[in-house]
Structures are given as structure tokens and as C-alpha cells.
Amino acid sequence: MSDDDGLTPVLREYQAADANVAYLDREKAKRETDAAERTKAEQERAQKQAEEARGVVFTLEWFRDITPCTEADDFVQGLLCDGSSAVVYGSSNAGKTFWMTDLALHVAAGMTWNGKRVQQGGVIYCALEGSRRFRNRIAAWRKRHSAEDKTVMFAAIQIGINLLTADSNDTQILINTIKKAKAELAGPVRLVVIDTLARAMAGGNENASEDMGKVIKAMDFIRQETGACVLFIHHSGKDAALGMRGHTSLIGAIDTEIEVAESEDGARTAEVLKQRDLQKGEVFGFTLQQWHLGENQYGEPVTSCIVEQAATQTAGGPARGDASKAKREDPGHLRRAMEVLHRVIHAQGKPGPVGTPDTAICVAEDAWREKFYSDAMPGAEPAAKQKAFRRAADKLVASGIVGMSNGLVWAIWPESPP
């Protein structure tokens, strides 16, 4: 074999390598050109928007013209308001869907609920989980309340809906449907229930700020366009004591937060944990009673459950009613401690020193403690504040949710745990 023959494979390798480098250079240049063109287009679009906005101003309402609003907008007294947003959440089998369905049907029928004034209005219930069981719940409520001849302004949507973007087809179609229902009812649609949040963001990540932000944007768009209260039914996280599942931006965006839970002895409650403009702290006791609907083709009984109201504890007051006063451990301090920690981190957080995780954003434990005292337990006795914070902090650290070292703390889960 000649020297030329021995060099040929080597030359071919070099030629192939040169060709590959040239190809990569062309691709890099193309990407840089495309990026430059996109940047230029975005700049031109921003400039056009700025030119269109030039001379346009927001409407100002001066101090002397601001008058009180004395007309009530809470269609369920002290609980839900027109145009607001809410979440009802709980663990599986706690009874959250039964409880919310009962409340929604009372609104649709204009019936007093738990001793509270209810202003009748249309209800659109998006039943995205299990149409058969949902239909049986409605049938059981109708029989229990002898509502066959009553005017019940209630309608259901039983197909998939995706609210991941405010301008998606599903969001606009839902708005169109609500407006159509309003025209047919000749009255307002006061409540839109989306059961569940997870089903309404199929393919999205509940723990991602971007995806949750899209759902919040859709929620606000629906409220603004229809004037209805938009309420999500949602799930607790793996540790129910830490509240609802998903990104914490949802808690900040909603007006009303209600947790439905079942204690070890079977007592069920719905507790109002947050109210933006109303009083929080009410605890509604309830039971689930089996209701016979008929028989299937095999002669076996077909049943569902209806909600029976039990003891109700007013905010800061004693329980009323004849039902059991069994109590469950309040997980609120854990949840509030995490909310406070996230707020302090966003406001004051800095990268940690040597000895803390590389990605840790740290704050002083003292800053967390003082903010917990002021935000989570205003007005409480100092000893109670100290005890609650110490218990919450110790459990969060022991659970691997919060890190702590040398007077610094950081969230090991930067978002709400799944």
C-alpha cells in the first residue's frame, strides 16, 4: 500500500471535520441573525406601542369625589362576593366537592345557607372530574331539598377546559357561555365553579410560577368580563398542614381561601383561612349523609351523599348548633410560617455564605420570626407567638422543607411543595 493510500483516510477525516465546523459556523451565524431580527422586531413593536400610548392618560378620581360604597356585594353573606376569586381545597375524600356543590346549589336556588343571607344568582359549574358521580350529587340534592319545582339557576359544563392562557379559545368560550347563560336567565351569573384546578390546566405545572400565572390571568379575565366570582376546587399538598398544592402566587391572587378537612374521628369542617375584604376565621361543620337514588339494572342500590349542616364557629366566637364540637389540630401556623418565609425571602433574600447550599437564598431567622409575629399572629400574646413560631419552624426544618444554619434560614422548596 502506497503512502498516498495511507494518508487518504486521514485526509477524509480532516475534510469531514472542516465541513462540520463550517456547518456549525453557518448555523451559529443564522441563529445570531434570527435573534437580532427578533430583537429588532420587538424594539419596533415596543416603540409603536409607546407612540400609540403617547398622550393617553389614566382616569383620576380625586379625593373629594371618592364616596363610600354602602351596597353589599357579598352574595353569600360574609363569605363570597360578586367579581371575586376563591379556592376551596382539601385532601382526597375530605368532602370538598360535596360541600362546594351544596353551597353552589343554595346560591342557584336563593336559599339561606348556614344561617347566612344568600342572594340568588346563576351558577355555572365546570365538572371536569367524573360526570356520573356529579349527576348523582345533583339528583340527591334535588330530592333532599324537594327542589323539583323550584327555580334553581344552575347549569353544568361537563367537558374538558384548559385555562393555561387568558387568550386561549377555552377561556373565551367559557366567557361567551357565561354571558349566554346570563341572557337566558335574565339575571346575573354570580358564581363559576371550576372543579378542579388541576384539570383546568392540563399539561401545566402547578408548581411553576409561569403556568400558575397564566391560570391566574385567565381567572382575572373571566371575572372582569362577566362580573362573576370564579372559584377553583383544589387539592392539598402531600403535607396537608402546609396548605394547598402548587405555586404560592395563587394564594396571593385570590380573595377567599377555604380549607375542607376531616378529623381522625370523622368530623368534617370547612374553615375560612383568608378573606381579603371580609372577616376570616369562620368554621362550618358538616356531615355527609347517604341518599338513595334508585337501583341499577342488577337491582343494586344507587346512592350519593348530601351535605347536612352541623356546628358553625364564628370568627373569634364559640361554636353554635347541636352537632359534635370535636376539634382537629389547626395546621394554619405551618402554612402561614411558609407564606411569611417566602415573602421575607422575596424582600430581603441574599445568596448564602459558605456552608449553605449553592442555590440557597437566605434570610435571618430573626427577620422570619418577627414577620411571623406581626403578620401571622397580630394581637396574640408574646408567649403564644413564641410557642407557635418555634413549633412551626422546628417541624418545617425536621420535614426537610426549610433549611437552617447559624442564624440563617432558606426554603429548600422555593415554591409550595407538590
Task: Give the span between the Cα atoms of 121 and 405, in whole angstroms.
Answer: 54
Q: Which of 331, 356, 362 is nearest to 344 (CA)?
A: 362
In which residue ranges of the chain is pLDDT below 50? Answer: 1, 317-330, 415-418
Residue 321: what pLDDT? 37
Pair 227, 80: CB distance under 8 Å: no
Q: What type of residue is 237? A: G
Q: Are strands 301-313 and 283-295 parallel, antiparallel or unpaired?
A: antiparallel
Q: Which of 328, 340, 330, 327 is nearest to 393 (CA)?
A: 340
Pair 192, 227: CB distance under 8 Å: no
Q: Which of 206, 42, 189 is nearest to 126 (CA)?
A: 189
User: Sign of torsion, CA 250 401 376 353?
Assistant: negative
Residue 11: what pLDDT? 64
| Class of domain 332-411 (CATH, top level) | mainly alpha
Pair 97, 262: CB distance under 8 Å: no
Pair 393, 387: CB distance under 8 Å: no
Q: Which of 166, 211, 254 is nearest to 415 (CA)?
A: 211
Burial (CB count within 10 angstroms: exposed 0-12, middle 13-18, buried 19+), residue 15: exposed
Domain boundaries, the chain: 74-320, 332-411
Identify the CATH assignment for 74-320 out of 1.10.10.60, 3.40.50.2300, 3.40.50.300, 3.10.200.10: 3.40.50.300
Residue 16: what pLDDT? 67
What number of residues does the chain have? 418
Task: Give the span between the Cα atoms of 339 and 331, in whole angstroms.
Answer: 13
* CB neighbourhood size of 343 (10 A): 16
User: CA triplet 251, 172, 189: central angle to 5 degrees?
Assistant: 70
Residue 324: what pLDDT? 32
Sorted by sequence, the CB contacts under 8 Å of residue 49 that are 6+ apart come out as: none
Residue 17: what pLDDT? 66
Residue 328: what pLDDT? 38
Pair 107, 141: CB distance under 8 Å: no
Residue 364: what pLDDT? 92
Residue by residue, what is the 3-state secondary structure of the chain? CCHHHHHHHHHHHHHHHHHHHHHHHHHHHHHHHHHHHHHHHHHHHHHHHHHHHCCCCCCCCCHHHCCCCCCCCEEECCCEECCCEEEEEECCCCCHHHHHHHHHHHHHHCCCECCECECCCEEEEEECCCHHHHHHHHHHHHHHCCCCCCCCCEEEECCCCCCCCCCCHHHHHHHHHHHHHHHHHCCCEEEEEEECHHHHCCCCCCCCHHHHHHHHHHHHHHHHHHCCEEEEEEEECCCHHHCECCCCHHHHHCCEEEEEEECCCCCEEEEEEEECCCCCCCEEEEEEEEEEEEECCCCCEEEEEEEEEEEEECCCCCEECCCCCCCCCCCHHHHHHHHHHHHHHHHHCEECCECECCCCEEEEHHHHHHHHHHHHCCCCCHHHHHHHHHHHHHHHHHCCCEEEECCEEEECCCCCCC
